[in-house]
Amino acid sequence: MEAHPCCNALFTHTQFQDGALRHTITVQDVEDIAFGGAVLGTGGGGDPYVGKLMAQRAIELHGSPQMISVEDVPDDEYIMCAAGIGAPTVLIEKILRGDEAETVFRALEAQLGRKAYAVMAAEAGGVNGTIPIAVAATLKLPLVDADLIGRAFPEIQLAIPTLHGIAATPMVVADEKGNHAVLSTISNHWTELIARSMTAAMGGQILSALYTMTGRQAKYATVPRTQSLCLRIGQTLREARHGKGNTLHALLAVTGGTHLFRGKILDLDRKTEKGHVRGVVTIQGLDEFRGETVAIDFQNENLIARSGERVLAAVPDLITILDQDTSYPITTEGLKYGLRVNVIGIPCYEQWRTPEGLALGGPQHFGYDTPYQPLAVKGAQ
Amino acid sequence: MAHRLGIDVGGTHTDAVILDEENRLIAKTKARTTADVSSGIEEALTHILAMPHVDAAKVRYAMLGTTHCTNAIAERKSLAPVSAIRLGAPATLSIPPLYSWPQDLQKKVLRHSFILDGGHEFDGREITTIKAEQIDQLVRDLTGNVEAIAITSVFSPVNAEHEERLRERLVSEFGSEIPLTVSHEIGSIGLLERENATVLNSALIRTALLAFNGFRDAMRRQQLDAQLFLSQNDGTLMSVEYAQRYPILTIASGPSNSLRGGAFLSGLKNAIVVDVGGTTTDVGVLVAGFPRESALAVDIGGVRTSFRMPDLISIGLGGGSIVRQSEEGMTIGPDSLGYRLTSEAIVFGGSTLTTTDIAVSAGRAQIGDSNLLPAEVHTISHDADALIQQMVERCIDGMKLSADPVPVVLVGGGSVLVSDQLAGASEVYRPEHFDVANAIGVAIAPISAQIDRVFSYERFSREAALEEAKGQAIEKAWQAGALKDSIEIVELEELAMAYMPGQATRIKVKAAGVLLTS
């Protein structure tokens, strides 16, 4: 099928599986969404496990939030986004207190003089896909079925609203100790720089409320249907595992993805550069890929997959490495010598494929000269 | 002269071996594994000590790989109720201790849960100080109502001060006999996984003590005066004193033992080991004499922990696997006759076609009565035998690290099914005593210890941090019983922490050495 930037089937679903426009998020849904979030995490974004437990616990304490479509948000109402910021290695050890959400949303509402109509995930991939469910449950607000990226990205300004001139600030960050700060900046790039240093001072992991936008803006400046996509990914994989189906084929069908490679990890070169984990994982082909070797560059997330000089997939398209037996996504921190894996590519959201989108989040942003070659867009199931 | 006894509890058989001071096999035996585990162990022990050439007075070391703790968790039996105490508030309040556990296990194990002020940041700063009034209240809550204690403090692998302070206080209040575990001695970074393992450990301490004392009593009845070691999940050994404090480490030690036994019997340090039992075949890899670990975290009884298992491919192929021929073609396994092989397979007078019948027909083995095989079996045995070899070869290919052929070691009673000519194998080893490779693996395993800490490369130079980490691991291995001069660093991993200033880096080091035998 030919790639075309305007017909990305992955993000064009309009209804939930049962045909309803609203969906009540259950404890089981959280499990499934967390799994989908790991797939969209493309190796980064943090292990969704802690976010999943936080969301499940929040639902037990406060009840299930509603998932609503972005079309359901009135044009003049405000949506505020929630995201954890910090090192995944810190979050798996120092879990959030749980009421940071109230702190940051109340402070942001006070700053703007407006109430939030709904909560939205800033980032669908990784742990930030499930933390907003906990936030929505705690605040008793609906969760918008969308996010700002459609994958995981390591910096605040790497988001679709930046392409539309929508500011991340005013932004509020809070730690578990009770500290909070309101941030106003001149650009989303500055927001990233300042928030990052505040994160370190506050203990490496904080919760933020940011990217406030109106319902009108959200209809063009977000990636729609990503929460329900994560839900479907998790459900499909669970059903495939349960029925002993082929989990890889099920995953490719639901994401509209491409099977790029199968092999075992031969070499892993991981180091720190400019505060990010950078590295290359080398995978040697098995079965039909025997005799071929693929190298994947990562910087928190998987960025470029190459077979020799040939680029198989490149950021902002999604590259996810899966355990061969279970199809569980493997984070860049979980990569290990000898592991047998499948590599899949999933086409990114269409706005990332525009010249502006590629200038913001394409290979050059991450320091590669490689020109972006879009992955084929297939009809998702 | 010091001889060693090795006992390995498997799913079907409990195997025992005695090795002399040169690690030569003096005796071997197999007993049926029993539901209580202990009586099967005692039967194997009694039997082997009565064998010719065995002199109990010479056996100075006993190494035991047991499933007591695995079974206690799997069956939710013999577990002490634990008071789980976490230091970290106000952080971590969003997920209470044992939150994700299966309900039935949580009900069995959780007596109390507390989240008190304390814990540290990633760089070792305090999140908050420990509050004396909270600790006093804790002591009042526990008094008269505590059987086992688990203490977990946030970032204790970086700074264990709060765990140590609370332990000191609770031991002074409730005595040193109470089962008490602190998390930094159990696991690495990852609060919930470490806390889970810490709580399970406290729940197991009394059961493990009873099991180990039971084994010591059995040794005494057999006039066996030997120092006791327990096999742990990474394939190394720990002293019984250490195992009594950390019984959780005995979980899932079986697969490592067969890999190590295969390495020892073949004399190879880098090889693929194929262990063919009655029902399954496990294929693992030895790297520098150690089993390669899986990257996935291990669930114990439905509880997520940070323990690692050897990286294995397991398939349903064994000596009792059932062979079927249908229109879609031939299938082997995954179902097996198991212990009924010796009554229901064709060569034993039964009517079920098994892989053992195929091996007999193909001339690989002489088991039972080959005259019982009908002509139809002989006509398909060539194809069935080829399929068996393909199944094994596919596993070997999946485990190999390069396209180059590697040595393959065949162990386990079912390995008679497998050819000496395997694709991908540079050479196939079929060592003597392959049928008790697991028990031999237990007997000859090294003593090891591991550390996992976060260092700031701005405060320490990288070299100084690595030296410090290695020194701590070596010290720990020595404390666990390894001969100091033999201790080597067998694994070193650096993991830079994303977004952190000060070049925060997590260093994991494992040191291992041979048993101190003098």
Q: List chain B domain ranges.
A: 77-202, 269-432, 446-513
Nearest CA in chain B to A284: B402
CATH, domain range B446-513: 3.30.1490
Instruction: Decide which of A37 and B74 is more confident.
Output: A37
The dotted CATH code for A9-226 is 3.40.1610.10
Element (H, E) at A345: strand A340-346
pLDDT at A111: 96
Residue type, A79: I
Query: What confidence category does residue B494 fall into, taking pLDDT thresholds of 50, 70 and 90?
Result: confident
Cis status, amide bond into B334, omega within 30 of 0: yes
Question: Which of A92, A99, A177 minimises the CB distance to B127?
Answer: A177
Nearest CA in chain A to B101: A53
Using an 8 Å CB-CB cutoff, list chain B residues near A271.
Answer: 496
Express each pLDDT in A67-95 by its tens digit: 999 999 999 999 999 999 998 888 899 99
B506 to chain A, any CB pair closer than 8 A? The answer is: yes
Strands B180-182 and B149-153: parallel
Is A89 in Cβ contact with B99 (below 8 Å)?
Answer: no
Residue B449 or A219, more confident: A219
Q: Specify the DSSP class assigned to residue A329.
A: B
- Closest Cβ–Cβ partner in A57, A204, A339 for B295: A339
Q: Please tell me if residue B121 touches chain A, with a CB cutoff of 8 Å.
A: yes
Q: Is the pLDDT of residue B394 over 50?
A: yes
Residue A47 confidence (pLDDT) above 60: yes
A115 CB within 8 Å of a chain B CB: no
B271 at A interface, C-beta within 8 A: no
Shortest distance between the Cα of A280 and any Cα of chain B, in A, equals 14
Would the CB atoms of A276 and B155 count as touching at under 8 Å? no
pLDDT over 60 at B113, yes or no: yes
In this structure, of A187-201, B152-166, B496-510, the range with the lowest mean pLDDT score is B496-510
State residue B266 phi and psi, 5-degree precision: -95, -15
ipTM above 0.90, yes or no: no
Measured between alpha carbons, how far is residue B231 from residues A203, B63, B479 in Å? 39, 7, 16
- Give A215 to chain B, closest Cα distance, Å: 30
Q: For residue B162, count other CB atoms closer than 10 A to its CB.
A: 28
φ, ψ of residue B162 in degrees (nearest 5) = -70, -40
φ, ψ at A132 (rounded to 5°):
-60, -25
* Closest by CA position to A104, among listed A167, A178, A46, A53: A178
The yes/no answer on whether domain A258-366 falls in CATH 2.40.390.10 is yes
Which residue of chain B comes nearest to A291, CA vs CA? B403
Instruction: Give the pLDDT confidence score for residue B142 in this predicted structure.
Output: 97
A226: phi then psi, degrees, rounded to nearest 5:
-80, -30
Interface of B with A in 295-314 (CB under 8 A): 295-296, 304, 311
3-class DSSP string for B78-143: CCCCEEEEEEEECCCCCCCCCCCCCHHHHHHHEEEEEEEECCECCCCCECCCCCHHHHHHHHHHHC
Domain residue spans in chain A? 9-226, 258-366
Bridge partners of A83, per DSSP, are: A208
The partner residue sitting opposite A176, judged by closest CB among B90, B292, B496, is: B90
pLDDT, chain A, mean = 90
**pLDDT tens for residues A268-284?**
887 766 556 789 999 99
* Nearest residue in chain B measured CA to CA from A45: B498
**pLDDT over threshold 50, residue A56:** yes
- Please determine, for residue B504, whether its predicted confidence score (pLDDT) is greater than 80: no
Nearest residue of A to residue B397 by CA position?
A: A286
Q: How far apart are the C-alpha atoms of B507 and B295, rounded to whole Å?
A: 17
Q: Which residue out of A61, A93, A94, A330 would a mutagenesis test of the B interface target, given it has the greatest number of B Cβ atoms within 10 Å?
A: A93
The domain made up of B269-432 has a fold known as Nucleotidyltransferase; domain 5 (3.30.420)
CA-to-CA distance for B400 and B418, rounded, in angstroms? 18
Q: Which of B212, B214, B194, B213 is nearest to B97 (CA)?
A: B194
The SS3 assignment for B252 reads: coil
Q: What is the rounded distance in angstroms from the CA atom of residue B407 to the CA atom of residue B396?
A: 10
pLDDT of amino acid B36: 85
CA angle B487, B493, B495 (to 5 degrees): 150
B122 near A CB under 8 A: yes
Give B-chain residues touching A291 at CB under 8 angstroms.
403
CA B512 to chain centre: 16
**Cβ atoms of B356 and B417 closer than 8 Å:** yes
**Cβ atoms of B272 and B406 closer than 8 Å:** yes
Could you read off the pLDDT of B366-381 as tens digits, one per residue?
999 999 999 999 999 9
Percent of chain B predicted with pLDDT > 70: 96
Give the model's confidence band at A14: pLDDT under 50 very low, under 70 low, under 90 confident, else very high.
very low
Determine, for residues B293 and A336 on separate chains, whether the beta-carbon distance falls below 8 Å: yes
Instruction: Give the C-alpha separation, B408 to B392, whole Å.
Output: 11
pTM for the model stands at 0.85
